Structure 1
């Protein structure tokens, strides 16, 4: 379930970011670029959450 919510949030955030940047640049909004950005963002979050940011609780 956490993977689904991660992808939904990354899709939402990349859509907002893509819309703002294309609006500022004066170009047209492209949904395919938004989906690619969402997939890249999701993969980055999955890698960070599963490997890099896992804390070792050695006491």
Structure 2
């Protein structure tokens, strides 16, 4: 479920950002390219989430 929501929100937010930027520049919106970037972004977010420690550190 965690992977689904990460993918869902990354696709939604990246596509929204791409749509807004494309319209501001007067360019055409490319759904396929935006979705590919969203999947890559979701992968990076998931890798970072797994790499970070989940428990507090005892000594600093």
For Structure 1 versus Structure 2, the TM-score category normalised by the shorter chain is: 0.7 to 0.9
Partner of 1:50 in structure 2?
Answer: 50
Distance 1:55 1:28 in 2: 42
CA pair 27-58 structure 1, distance change in 2 beyond 3 A: closer
Unpaired runs of 5+ residues, structure 1, are none
Give the match for residue 30 of structure 2: 30
Whole-angstrom distance in 2 between the partners of 1:22 and 1:58: 44
Larger Rg: 2
> Where do 5+ consecutive residues of structure 2 fail to align?
none
Map 1:8-23 to 2 at 5 A. 8-23=8-23
TM-score by length of 2: 0.84
